[in-house]
Amino acid sequence: MKKKIGKQVKMSESELLSSVAAKLKGKSLFPEKVAEARKLIRNLKYFPDI
Amino acid sequence: MNAEKYETKEEDRSQKGVKYLFTSKGNSPVVKAVHYEYIMNLKELSVYNLGFGDYKDDNINTENGDVYKVFNTVLNTIPKFFELFQNAIIFVMGSDSSPNFVEKCKLTCKKKCTSLCKNQHRRIKAYRYYVDKNFDALRKDYRFLGGKLNIDNQTIIEEYIPHRIYHSVWVMKNNI
């Protein structure tokens, strides 16, 4: 539910999160970290049995 | 985990991972995101990176006066993640542990660090501190591994031993 404050329209928290979620959909948020992790894993010297 | 935490909103679930969004309501509202993102397969299990940060910039630590509540919120997404991805391994390495972090930090940091960067490895230290402190309880449900460098500067992964210095922490459910 939007609340009017003067001439501004303020989003509710739920609307804000939905708006952010829509902008982030399908995107990698931390691509550099994932790339570093991938590099680290590819160069592992030892990993124990699972 | 009964400590105070924010409610999270699950978003964008797929084989590539899942996101959890929440609003930090400290001094001012800040949207934060936790992203479990697929890295690659290892020993027939899927490894996911646990990434966390402000919606706008992971390298910013917004001092919003609610650091413990935010940290607990992030931790609380771990069992939620494992409900969705049961045969997964979570890989945790702080954004302040990356090779080029110190160089970037020096550009804006107000601390007058000389040889060692005081901001480096803060995040992984926080995770390790939590695991070390709650290890006996956590290991009932989870298996932990720790990553460290050997004398040849190669990364080896071992069964986690509390209070050892690891640059990465790996978590999986027991009895996979």
Instruction: Provide the shortest C-alpha distance from residue B140 to chain A (in Å).
Output: 16
pLDDT, residue A8, reads 53
Q: Is the ipTM of this complex over 0.85?
A: no
DSSP conformation letters of B74-103: HHHHHHHHHHH-TTEEEEE--GGGSTTHHH
Instruction: Give the number of other Cβ atoms within 10 Å of residue B67's Cβ.
Output: 14
HSE, side-chain direction, 13 A CA sphere, residue B2: 0
**At what angle are helices B67-84 and B122-133 packed, to 10 degrees?**
70
DSSP conformation letters of B103-166: HHHHHH--S--SSS-TTTTHHHHHHHHHHHHTHHHHTTTEEEEEEEE-TTS-EEEEE--TT---
Contact B112/A at CB under 8 A: no
pLDDT, residue B110, reads 77
- Spatial CB neighbours of B109, under 8 Å, sequence gap ≥ 6: B117, B119
Q: Is the pTM of this model over 0.80?
A: yes
Instruction: Provide the shortest C-alpha distance from residue B112 to chain A (in Å).
Output: 27
Instruction: Give the number of other Cβ atoms within 10 Å of residue B56's Cβ.
Output: 12
Query: In order along chain B (176 residues), what is the average pLDDT of each group of 10 residues?
Result: 86 96 87 96 94 73 80 96 96 82 79 77 90 96 94 91 96 88
Pair B167, B84: CB distance under 8 Å: no
Closest CA to B5 of B94, B102, B74: B74
Q: Which two tokens stand for residue B31?
A: 């949207």
Query: In order along chain A (50 residues), what is the average pLDDT of each group of 10 residues?
Result: 56 88 93 92 92
CA distance A23 to B57: 14
User: Which residue in A17, A19, A25, A32 has the most chain B C-beta atoms within 10 A of its own C-beta, making it the best mutation to test that interface?
Assistant: A17
pLDDT, residue B55, reads 82
Compute the Cα dihedral for B157, B159, B163, B164 and give only its sign: negative
- Amino acid identity of residue A18, one-letter, is S
Between chains, do B150 and A28 touch, taking CB under 8 Å as contact? no
Instruction: Provide the shortest C-alpha distance from residue A38 to chain B (in Å).
Output: 6
- Amino acid identity of residue B55, one-letter, is Y
Report chain A residues whose CB lies below 8 A from the CB of B49: 30, 33-34, 37
